[in-house]
Amino acid sequence: MSLTFVLWGVFALFFLGVPCLYYLYMKRRARDSWKLEFDENYQPFLSILVPMHNEEEIICYKLENLYKVEYPREKLQVILVNDSSTDKTLDEIDKFLSSHNRLDMTVLNSVGRRGKADCLNFALKHATGEVIVISDADCFWPSDILLKAMPYLSDPHVAAVAGRELLLNHQQSWVTEGELAYNNFVQSVRLGESKVHSTVFFQGGFGAYNRAALEEFDCETDDSGTALNIVQKKGRTLIIPDALFYTMFPASWKNKVTIKLRRAAQLQRIWIKSLKLLIKGELVLPKKIAIPEILLHLFNPIFFVALLFATAFLVVEHPVLLLAFSAILLPILLVQKTRVSLIELVQNNLILLAALSTSILNKQFKLWSTVKESRSLLNGDVLKKLHLI
């Protein structure tokens, strides 16, 4: 057996084996029962923070969505943080507030362009809630999301909870279909991690934090970095599978890559930090979660490239293997579900590789910018159909 065969087997084992085994393990753990102390009647005072930058097209939809939320009005404070919008965002808010006065809603204006995390930290100084809830302006909640999520925070060990993202346009193009497949994979893993201890993969659509555990939002890595900081302080951070939120996702590949590159860069910074803490013996997150995630985000893209090179060398050495590889790939490409999954696997590892190269070159991605395509796709009919407004 040639050395190329051995190396190919090693690279394939790491590249395909680690994610498959981790997914299967977490999928099994996701079926475990919650070992938490629930108080179904837990209804603390909440401060809902919404960062905004040039949201003229959608902000009224967001405000209508918040207005529909089922929760005692006397226990809700809504803070809208305007990050130097240059469009008519504030005018649209004024119009809405002139006819809706049953909700305590405040608008704060930042001085200069600050970015999402800085805006949230600015709002945090004005928040009086026992629980801080955040939501991006282009994300929409079912009216009962707070009633479903708050009981989890009644457990003294739980410091933060996140919701599950659903795409309003998941059937629009092959790009959104691929994102749906990726989301289904990730959500199973996040739930399993939550049952084991914690998941640090938080998204901006819905996150709720016990105020006592939240000093500030992480300015470098936003939602997920904040979750890791909380775990390091011995709090648990969970995904709540029935706390859903909806959003539009770009239908074009270019805009998808823009979003995914930013997310990949953030996640890699988190797992680089976790690796350093692990080496020092200071990581609180269990090793059974941290080590596979570190391998997937930092090392798997490298194994992917190594596997491609090893495959090319094998085909050159043994041309007959081209037929064998083709026979394996053809059935995968002919079936839509497996084809979409394969495309996502390859694409995501290329994106991770690109993000990793920027870290090595010390190049920073802009961590918060709106993608106009996903906002332009949004319309009231879609939201009304799901009773979101």
Q: What domains are defined for the chain?
A: 1-389 (3.90.550.10)
119, 148 Cβ separation under 8 angstroms: no
**Band (62; pLDDT cuts 50, 70, 90):** very high
CA-based nearest residue to 163, from 150, 175, 172, 176: 150
Average of per-residue pLDDT across 97-102? 81
Strands 105-109, 158-167: pairing is unpaired
pLDDT at 362: 63
Angle between the N-to-C axes of helices 253-280 and 336-360, in degrees from 0 to 180, rounded to the nearest 10: 60
Residue 363 pLDDT > 70: no
Q: Please answer whether residues 285 and 197 qualify as being in contact, where contact means their C-beta atoms are separated by less than 8 angstroms.
A: yes
- Please determine, for residue 327, whether its predicted confidence score (pLDDT) is greater than 50: yes
Among 270, 188, 182, smallest CA distance to 225 is for 270
For the segment 143-158, what is each residue's pLDDT rounded down to a tens digit? 999 999 999 999 999 9
The mean pLDDT of the chain is 91
- pLDDT-derived band of residue 371, with 50, 70 and 90 as boundaries? low
Q: What is the spatial distance between Cα 66 and Cα 142, in angstroms, rounded to a whole number? A: 9
Mean pLDDT in residue range 204-220: 94
Share of the chain above pLDDT 90, in %: 71
Q: Which pTM was predicted?
A: 0.91
Question: Whole-angstrom Cα distance, residue 70 to residue 67?
Answer: 9
pLDDT of residue 325: 87
Q: What is the pLDDT of residues 230-280, one digit of tens each?
A: 999 999 999 999 999 999 998 898 899 988 998 999 999 999 999 999 999
- From the list 162, 167, 174, 101, the residue with the least C-alpha distance to 134 is 162
Question: What is the model's pLDDT at position 12?
Answer: 92
Q: What is the CA radius of gyration of the chain?
A: 22
Question: For the segment 152-194, what is each residue's pLDDT rounded down to a tens digit?
Answer: 999 999 999 999 999 999 888 989 999 999 999 999 999 999 9
Question: Is residue 61 helix, strand or coil?
Answer: helix
Please provide the size of the chain in residues: 389
Residue whose tokens read 């976790």: 274
Beta-carbon contacts of residue 334 (< 8 Å; ≥ 6 apart): none
How large is the average pLDDT for residues 216-238?
94
* 208 token code pair: 């709720």
Tell me how far apart the alpha carbons of residues 21 and 302 are, in angstroms, rounded to a whole number.
19
The answer to whether residue 103 scores a pLDDT higher than 90 is no
Helix (H) or strand (E) holding 140: strand 139-140
First to last CA, the chain: 64
Helix (H) / strand (E) element for 209: namely strand 207-210
Amino acid at 161: V
| Calpha distance 243→148 (Å, rounded) | 6
Kindly report, residue by residue over 109-141, the tens digit of the pLDDT.
Answer: 987 787 899 999 999 999 999 999 999 999 999
315: which 2 tokens?
């085909």
For residue 364, the model assigns a pLDDT of 56
The model's confidence at residue 197, banded by pLDDT at 50, 70 and 90, is very high
Can you say how many angstroms the Cα of residue 125 is from the centroid of all Cα atoms in its chain?
Answer: 25
Least confident of 2-16, 53-67, 179-193: 2-16
The SS3 call for residue 82 is: strand
CA 382 to chain centre: 22
Element holding 6 (H helix, E strand)? helix 3-12
Q: Which two tokens stand for residue 114?
A: 């600050």
pLDDT-based confidence at residue 367 (cuts at 50, 70, 90): very low
Which residues are bridge partners to 77 per DSSP? 47
Strand partners, 105: 78
Residue that the structure tokens 């959608």 belong to:
58
Distant-in-sequence, close-in-space partners of 98: CB < 8 Å, separation ≥ 6: none
Query: Where do we find the tokens 């808010």?
Result: 93
Q: How many CA atoms lie within 13 A of 90 on its CB side?
A: 12
Residue range 346-358, pLDDT digits in tens: 999 999 999 988 7
Q: Are 52 and 20 in contact (CB under 8 A)?
A: no
